[in-house]
Amino acid sequence: MLRHYWRGGLVGKVLSDQYLFSRLENTRTYQEFQLLTQLEELGLPVSKPIAAKVQRSGFIYRGDLITEAVSGAQSLLDKLKQAPLTESEWQATAETLARFHNAGVFHADLNINNILFDERSKVFLIDFDRGEIRKPSQQTVENNMARLKRSFIKELNRNTEFYWRESEWDKFYALYRSFLTI
């Protein structure tokens, strides 16, 4: 999978894919590649990093990242637009998120588009731009899960066919907490 780094928000309207360059190690591309390598070494389910490219021009750079595709990938959003998740799929999702959090992984954009299922319903997390490994803390976990809940609610309000209700969050969250060790 090839991913080009694009800016979001108001700045993105002016500098669509340009970032300030100081050193290679400070580029988002390099940092995400390094993080994915660490996560893979920890045995966490991520797309295997293959290559990264930083193209510098003066004080700016553009970046690209290539990762191995998740076989038969389907996002949690796509699955919920088709049918409710099974109990085992909810369990796999909760357990996978807890594994990342137990390892101190902070995902800067945890949402239902960045949770993938492969063809055997194994759960993967993708898009670790601005992510990092930190000392595990309750606050980081709470913030990450609150962000995830907001993405469920956002998609519930956006999609006419969406097999999730806000009342299901507490059950999912309790299942997730049962796998959490911090």
Give me the active site residues, please. Answer: 109
C-alpha to C-alpha distance for 12 and 66, rounded to whole angstroms: 22
Burial class (CB in 10 A: 0-12, 13-18, 19+), 77: buried
C-alpha to C-alpha distance for 56 and 144, rounded to whole angstroms: 33
Say which amino acid occupies 131. G
- Is the CB of residue 118 less than 8 Å from the CB of residue 71? yes
- Is the CB of residue 69 less than 8 Å from the CB of residue 1? yes
SS3 at position 172: helix
In 143-159, which positions are buried (b, 16+ CB within 10 angstroms) versus exposed (e)?
Answer: ebbeebbebbeebeeee
- Is the CB of residue 152 less than 8 Å from the CB of residue 164? yes
Say which amino acid occupies 10. L
Neighbouring C-alpha atoms within 13 Å toward the C-beta of 129: 18
